[in-house]
Amino acid sequence: MNGSNQVPPAQRPRKIIHIDMDAFYAAVEQRDFPELRGKPVVVGGAPNSRGVVATCSYEARAFGIRSAMSAAKAYRLCSKAVFLRPRFEVYRAVSTDIRAIFQDVTDQVEAISLDEAYLDVTASSLFQGSATRMAEEIKRRIRELTHLTASAGVSYNKFLAKIASDRHKPDGLCLIPPEQGRTVIAELPIGAFHGIGKATEAKMLALGIHCGRDLERLPLATLTQQFGKAGAYYYRIARGIDERPVIPNRPRKSWGAETTFPADLSDKTEMREHLAKLAEGVLKKLARHGLQASALTVKVKYDDFEQVTRARTLGRPICETRDVLPHLAELLDRTEAGSRKVRLLGVSFSILENAQRPVTGQLDLFTQG
Ligand code: DCP
Ligand code: MG
């Protein structure tokens, strides 16, 4: 092999993908309530409250409504917007689904929030190592599984991958290759730098720094003098250097689901059915993550809000819902459910291990088509 143009791994640029869902909470609401599609939708506090906007649909953004704005101001900007309270359980469920998709690509996943994650795919050989095609596939699978769109950015570090995912929103895919990194940063308005907040932006503008190019002109000493420790970060970012690693989130030790009922339950058969449904949902999720559990916990909240849990370890992996049904029933029997009314039931599975699954099971998702 001719080694002359082979770059040693440590110097080879990394391949980082940043994924960010579009108008996340609002898009989930428009998905679940089709009558909201095409309309300005604001998710957050009530317009007549002191609450704030968590997010809003793109239609609402056209009126100038933004995240973190007071709901009252959002109402002034667009009184015909539909104002909704957030449904966090639904957003969390979507988040779990998209994280499972990321895990199919690599275990080097750092989730930043419910709707946002960085993936380091440098070592991944899927699609002959094409990070752009991996990002396309992730977007396709997110759409298929959740009926929502995500935007993806591909670059050689976290800073640029995030800039890239923002560029072609919504439903965007943008690659910033190493040779373009510095140009993109040079042209970037200073307020668009992630990590530069409103106060720093104002200070930079006062110093005559309007874009990346202006920032790059300043010597390190001036930057640290003006901005302290952050100065060194700005100095490097201005040159397209960001060595922050993708730090995979620690695996969770347990997974669960619970339901609060609109009316308290007193019938145990009904309770067992609910537990079975909850267990089935969680087991499906575990399977998608390639995980198996060997212990389960049932949670019961009585109508007076007192809460108890009952747990059991089965010395073997749990795969099928039908295997856990007798245990769910037994755990429920060890509570006072039935003689006391129940307002909430929950099931969680713990002691997770990676399921033995064939490697091709993972690759299949990507080799077709
Ligand atoms: N969020 C929030 N409060 C904020 C910002 C965001 O509660 N100040 C929530 C609501 C968003 C979600 O986090 O839906 C994701 O935040 P993003 O910044 O990614 O915003 P969106 O996904 O809503 O829109 P975009 O399409 O710009 O990513
Ligand atoms: Mg988003």
Q: How confident is the model at residue 50 (pLDDT cuts 50, 70, 90)?
A: confident
- Ligand 1 pocket member 117 (CB < 6 A): no
| Counted domains in the chain | 3
Would residue 246 count as lying in a domain?
Answer: no
Whether residues 35 and 80 share a domain: the answer is yes
Check residue 355 and give its pLDDT: 60
Q: How confident is the model at residue 6 (pLDDT cuts 50, 70, 90)?
A: low
Whether residues 220 and 288 share a domain: the answer is no
Tell me if 43 sits within 8 A of 110, measured CB to CB: no
327: nearest Cα among 295, 280, 282? 295
Least confident range of 138-147, 209-218, 228-237, 282-291: 282-291
Least confident range of 121-135, 240-254, 299-313: 240-254
Whether residues 145 and 269 share a domain: the answer is no
Last residue of a domain, one of 208, 237, 266: 237
- Ligand 1 pocket member 24 (CB < 6 A): yes
Q: How confident is the model at residue 55 (pLDDT cuts 50, 70, 90)?
A: very high
Tell me if 133 sits within 8 A of 17, measured CB to CB: no
Q: Which two structure tokens, joined as six digits, stand for 26?
A: 């609002």
Please tell me the distance from the alpha carbon of residue 331 to that of residue 325, in angstroms, as a whole number. 10
* DSSP H/E element including 139: helix 131-146
Whether residues 199 and 71 share a domain: the answer is no
- Give yes or no for residue 2 having a pLDDT over 50: no
Would residue 248 count as lying in a domain?
Answer: no
pLDDT tens profile 178-199: 999 999 999 999 999 988 988 9
- Give yes or no for residue 24 having a pLDDT over 70: yes
Q: How confident is the model at residue 253 (pLDDT cuts 50, 70, 90)?
A: confident
What percentage of the chain exceeds 90 in pLDDT? Answer: 80
Would residue 56 count as lying in a domain?
Answer: yes
Whether residues 170 and 30 share a domain: the answer is yes
- Ligand 1 pocket member 169 (CB < 6 A): yes
97: nearest Cα among 276, 289, 321? 289
Give Rg (Cα) of the chain: 24
Q: How confident is the model at residue 4 (pLDDT cuts 50, 70, 90)?
A: very low
Whether residues 17 and 77 share a domain: the answer is yes
The CATH number for 41's domain is 3.30.70.270
Would residue 339 count as lying in a domain?
Answer: yes
The CATH number for 212's domain is 1.10.150.20
pLDDT tens profile 66-96: 999 999 999 999 999 999 999 998 998 999 9
Whether residues 166 and 186 share a domain: the answer is no
Mean pLDDT value of segment 275-291 = 88
Length of the chain, in residues: 369
Q: How far is the CA of 17 from the centre of ligand 1 (A)?
A: 18
Closest residue (by CA) to atom 27 of ligand 1?
Answer: 23
Whether residues 21 and 118 share a domain: the answer is yes
What are φ and ψ of residue 77, in 5° steps? Answer: -70, -35
**Residue 143 belongs to domain spanning:** 11-176
Check residue 263 and give its pLDDT: 95
Give how far Cα 301 sits from Cα of 52, 284, 327, 338, 353, Å: 31, 24, 18, 12, 29
Tell me if 332 sits within 8 A of 272, measured CB to CB: yes
Residue 43 alpha carbon, nearest atom of ligand 1: 10
Check residue 37 and give its pLDDT: 98
Whether residues 259 and 186 share a domain: the answer is no
Would residue 324 count as lying in a domain?
Answer: yes
Check residue 273 and give its pLDDT: 97
310: nearest Cα among 275, 264, 269, 353? 275
Check residue 239 and give its pLDDT: 95
Quote the DSSP letter at residue 21.
Answer: E
Would residue 6 count as lying in a domain?
Answer: no
Q: Which two structure tokens, joined as six digits, stand for 363?
A: 């690759």
* DSSP H/E element including 124: none
Last residue of a domain, one of 176, 193, 211: 176
- Ligand 1 pocket member 149 (CB < 6 A): no
Q: Which two structure tokens, joined as six digits, stand for 320?
A: 């099928």
Whether residues 35 and 168 share a domain: the answer is yes
Last residue of a domain, one of 136, 159, 176: 176
Would residue 19 count as lying in a domain?
Answer: yes
List 89, 116, 187, 330, catalytic entry: 116
Check residue 7 and give its pLDDT: 55
If you average pLDDT over every residue of the chain, what do you get? 91
Would residue 5 count as lying in a domain?
Answer: no
Cβ neighbors of 203 (< 8 A, separation 6 or more) are 226, 227
Check residue 250 and give its pLDDT: 76
Is residue 116 part of the annotated active site? The answer reads yes
- Ligand 1 pocket member 115 (CB < 6 A): yes
The CATH number for 280's domain is 3.30.1490.100
Closest residue (by CA) to atom 7 of ligand 1?
Answer: 54
Check residue 14 and give its pLDDT: 97
CA dihedral 139, 145, 147, 150 (to 10 degrees): -20
Give how far Cα 187 sits from Cα of 48, 190, 193, 211, Å: 41, 9, 11, 6
Mean pLDDT value of segment 330-348 = 97
- Give yes or no for residue 16 having a pLDDT over 70: yes
Least confident range of 26-30, 147-151, 247-251, 281-285: 247-251
Cβ neighbors of 128 (< 8 A, separation 6 or more) are none
Whether residues 131 and 164 share a domain: the answer is yes
Q: How confident is the model at residue 252 (pLDDT cuts 50, 70, 90)?
A: confident
Closest residue (by CA) to atom 24 of ligand 1?
Answer: 23
The more confidently predicted of residues 355 and 200 is 200
Whether residues 134 and 58 share a domain: the answer is yes
Q: How far is the CA of 66 from the centre of ligand 2 (A)?
A: 12
Q: Which residues pair with 118 in a beta bridge?
A: 18, 110
Please tell me the distance from the alpha carbon of residue 319 to that of residue 296, in angstroms, as a whole number. 12
